[in-house]
A and B are shown apart, each in its own frame.
Chain A
Amino acid sequence: MNVTIVDYKSGNISSVINSFKEVAKGKVKIEVTSDLKKISSSDKVVLPGQGSFKSCIDALNTINGLVETLNDFALNNKKPLLGICVGLQMFADVGYEETETKGLSWISGKVSKINNQNGKYKLPHIGWNEVNIVKDSKIFKNVENNSHMYFVHSYEFIPNDKSVISATTEYSSNHVCAVEEENIFGTQFHPEKSDKTGLKIIDNFISL
């Protein structure tokens, strides 16, 4: 089996690579590439994302055929895909960071700035927060409810269909921090930076 981390030249993905390699040790091949053929033929794909919604979408679009390849992978072939942070946010129809930007439209919804209640809550939402698991999700297998995960973001994904939400977290309001719809998984938090519990989530994804 092989897992591909999509390298689309947006932000820092070395921590994602390190954590997947640590978990995969020997049993699974971890590939880091933007090669469309390799992405298509891999068993699972990880879509990281750092920076703004717009910069990530722009970076995806810079690589000719990448969006089509990912669409094919996730929507037609229905192979497992994990989006992390902005990687998750890009599942939406639209994002409002910097300017209104069209997303991948895999899970209907929008990405808006967290309401900081007139400065009552500092943004970005940085640090360790508890994750409230709201539905049975394969990536949360053997992960205790209310485990701590590491977050760093100012925008939140608001899906139209609430049944896709697999976990929420409390900061200013109760917002979505993980989704699962069939083969598509996403975490707003960074499993690669969330210590042993985060590595467990990565292990769960790899073991799907």
Chain B
Amino acid sequence: MLKNRIIPCLDVKNGRVVKGINFVDLKDAGDPVEQAKIYSDGGADEICFLDITASNENRDTIYEVVEKTSKKCFVPLTVGGGIRSIEDINKLLNCGADKVSINTAAVQNSKVVIDSSKKFGSQCIVVAIDAKKNEKKWEIFTHGGRNSTGIDAIEYAKKMEECGAGELLITSMDRDGTQVGYDIELMSKISSRVNIPVIASGGVGNLDHLVEGIKLGKASAVLAASIFHYGKHSIKEAKEYLDSKGIPVRI
């Protein structure tokens, strides 16, 4: 039986790990390579690096981080943040990333998703969607949540599937950093609409939120940062808890 995945996410800035509250107020908290190794040794099903300020800063540091991590961690490694082109993807994959997550570039030009999934295979193309709820719909935001687009997140999710995305990483901007739980409605609406796996992100504050993301949000995988990062819970604890709630996990 296929297991639900737990994915710790490390937000990386200038080669160091940080985690923001609602995308601002960053705290420095460690070396990404060491952190990733701790997570993979602890049973993380995948590791995710998000290069958060990549859109407007020199991002060569992330390549070095990915290269070092991939020599120490033998679980899948996903890297996102500031990916603009096929060349960016190629470079990250060559450094040892197994998947890349594309956000802003996919909104601006869906051809990036079409071309990259053809060239590298859908299995390594994750489309990341940052969405915020308004009166009518969930709207997509780009550039790390700074720019509104007017695009409906659910329709867009379907379109990305058609373009060749292998997975969707859905972040609720309303919930990110709040620790009040995933936006379950958003996750379940998207998951029901598409036939590719959905990774839920944004808002985890306790282990019950992970359970909700899978049971109610119908996510195939749950991503979280703070609850693991600041030592509130270990990956092992999270897995044992999910297991006790009848969710299939790899233990």
Contact = CB atoms under 8 A, between A and B. Distances in A.
B68 to A, nearest CB: 11
Interface of B: 1-5, 40, 45, 70-71, 74-76, 93-98, 118-124, 166-167, 195-197, 220-221, 250
Contact of B75 (A55, A171, A193): A193
A129 B3 contact: yes
Q: How large is the interface on A (under 10, 10 to 19, 20 to 34, 35 or more residues)?
A: 35 or more
Could you tell me the dominant secondary structure of chain A's interface residues? mixed
Nearest to B122: A124
Given A14-B93, A14-B94, A194 B74 contact: yes
A129 B98 contact: no
Contact of B74 (A12, A50, A152, A193): A193
Interface of A: 11-12, 14-15, 18-19, 21-22, 50-52, 55, 116, 119, 122-130, 148, 150-154, 170-171, 192-196, 198-199
Contacts of A11: 120-121, 124
A18 B71 contact: yes
A87 B121 CA distance: 14
A18 B195 contact: no
Given A14-B70, A22-B74, A129-B1, A51 B98 contact: no
B95 A14 contact: yes
Given A22-B74, A124-B122, A198-B74, A130 B98 contact: no
Contacts, number: 99
B121 A127 contact: no
Nearest to A116: B195
A22 B70 CA distance: 11
B3 A128 contact: yes
A18 B2 contact: no
A170 B74 contact: no
28 contacts: A11-B124, A12-B94, A12-B97, A14-B70, A14-B95, A15-B70, A19-B74, A22-B74, A50-B121, A55-B121, A119-B195, A124-B196, A124-B197, A126-B220, A127-B2, A127-B4, A128-B45, A129-B1, A129-B2, A148-B3, A150-B76, A151-B2, A152-B76, A170-B1, A192-B74, A193-B74, A194-B74, A195-B40
A128 B96 contact: no
Contact of A51 (B40, B94, B121): B121
Given A12-B124, A14-B70, A130-B1, A122 B197 contact: yes
A162 B166 CA distance: 30
A52 B5 CA distance: 24
Contacts of B3: 127-129, 148
Contacts of B1: 129-130, 170
Given A14-B94, A14-B96, 17 more contacts: A12-B97, A12-B120, A14-B70, A14-B95, A22-B71, A126-B123, A126-B166, A127-B3, A128-B2, A128-B5, A128-B45, A128-B250, A130-B1, A152-B76, A171-B2, A193-B75, A195-B74
A195 B70 CA distance: 12
A89 to B, nearest CB: 12
